[in-house]
Structure 1
Amino acid sequence: MTTTLTLNNGVRMPALGFGVFQTPPEETISAVAEALRVGYRLIDTAAAYGNEREVGEALRRAEMDRSEVFLETKLWITDYGYDGALHGFDKSAGKLGVDQIDLLLLHQPVPTDFERTIGAYKALETLLADGRVRAIGISNVMPDVLDRLLAETSVVPAVNQVEVHPYFTQADVQAADAEHGILTQAWSPIGGITSYRGDSPRSTFEDPVLGEIAEAHGRTRAQVMLRWHLQQGRSAIPKSVRPERIAENFDVAGFELTADELARIDALDTGVRGGPEPASITPETFDREIPEA
């Protein structure tokens, strides 16, 4: 699967990527190595995941040309503010072992301290102008916060990475992103959060509608969900540490969902968020210092 998307600054990015959220550092090297072997060329990590160094080590061991892999990471809120974000970039780049990061995002907005959020985004603009990153973006940003950010900054984000899966489609967020030429990138794209969150009433992996569509195409529910994302123009970053699942999630070419099937999947939306409310993220509630090394 080599489909690419063109970001609003002309940079091309693979549509399907490999995520390492909640992947323990000791499992990250082998998981990323397997993803690269299978054919993934977009790797998504974050300072707060605690496995940037292992992602970098997997890239080194793969002995691939740096230009072959699109590397994406995110700055955590404790490194916000202009100077803090510049230092956050240095920490991430150092752990990843690269001079340039392809896509750098702010991991969360902090509405209760928005000046530091704006300061961090302006640091991203500086890094972009200096060529130390190829594209910049945001994550978990809702339309009202996006309007505030756009009013105080110069560069429109290239990407907004948010929770999107069949049970939580965030149509309003996707519409706001599209209005501004921002690519929506789905985290938990196959609804993994619906299976490991104890308060989730049901799981996408057991959904009968997805099961019917998967059976009709001789595919799995996960493959159907990823195809749904790609056909609707989103980027998706599934994660796994199991080689068979890593390969399965990448094998989403060779079939096409019909308009009716896409609509049936859209209709599964419950409006129930699996992750935390973005407005609830503050330095006090998520006080996670990012180590220097």
Structure 2
Amino acid sequence: MAGRLLLLRGAGRALRPGRALPAAPGPCARRGCGELAGLRAMGFSQEQARRLLALQPRLGPEHREAAAAQLLLLGLSAEAALALLERSPALLRLPAERLRERAEELRRLGLDGGRLQRAASRCPQLFHVPRKRLEAAVRLLRERCLFTAEQLREVLGTCPAVLLEEPHTLHHQFQYAYFRMGVQQKEMVKARLFQMPFAELRNRHIFLERRGLYETPHKGQTQTSNPKLKDILQLPEKDFLASLAYSTPEEFEVFKKLLAREEEEKKEEEDVDALYTEDDDDLDSDESKTAGE
């Protein structure tokens, strides 16, 4: 085990210019299959190593081995690392140092141990996005949404994709849940708010609201007993309709189409209002110039 760890650490280091990984010993190296032997030494089976070699076949062996080593050092199994690379083969082209640094950044955000392994497996794009974008999302969740440090760790652990979202998108979804639905941060975290696309959350909430089954709390009080956010978000649509909305899929589909039409008409009205406002501003400007002359 210690020997394998040393091998992984060695493969994970940034290679110096002009320096290649040592070839595997024996006749396999002379037949050009040293890379296969190197992957086997890391813990990949023969079949797994061949699948890995099929990814980005023109890529140099040092890049492939270094990327695979970094994923194994995160704690992923050989099969999990291979599955991740098969879903996102572009990871093989990232410098090993970039993979290592990004893993350290994610650990600093609270994604350590199993959380980091799950985040990497679910969301390999985390290794590609600019660091400033990650920092902007975290700053928004902490400073404007007011999640505690522990709540933030839970959000990132259950929905690492929030780090890929634009801050204004996250803020809009948070504000909707907080002000329109009257939900506090603790319940948002427990219900895994950010796992559901905002459009679907809004469809379900407004559907309940118009059926008299959800009321926005006023000073924390409502006349009805609102469904829990967790049930609204996590129930499959069939169960949501049967147990919360007391409706049919056909009714829900008609509602979504009507709601989309309402939004479209509202946007058109706002565009017309904005156009008239611009015309009024131009007219006021012309009248000011005439008066000045």
Q: TM-score range by the shorter chain?
A: under 0.3
**Which one has more relative contact order, counting CA pairs under 8 Å at least 6 apart?**
1
Q: Looking at CA atoms only, which structure, 1 or 2, has the larger radius of gyration?
A: 2
Select the structure that is richer in helix. 2
TM-score by length of 1: 0.20
Select the structure that is richer in strand. 1
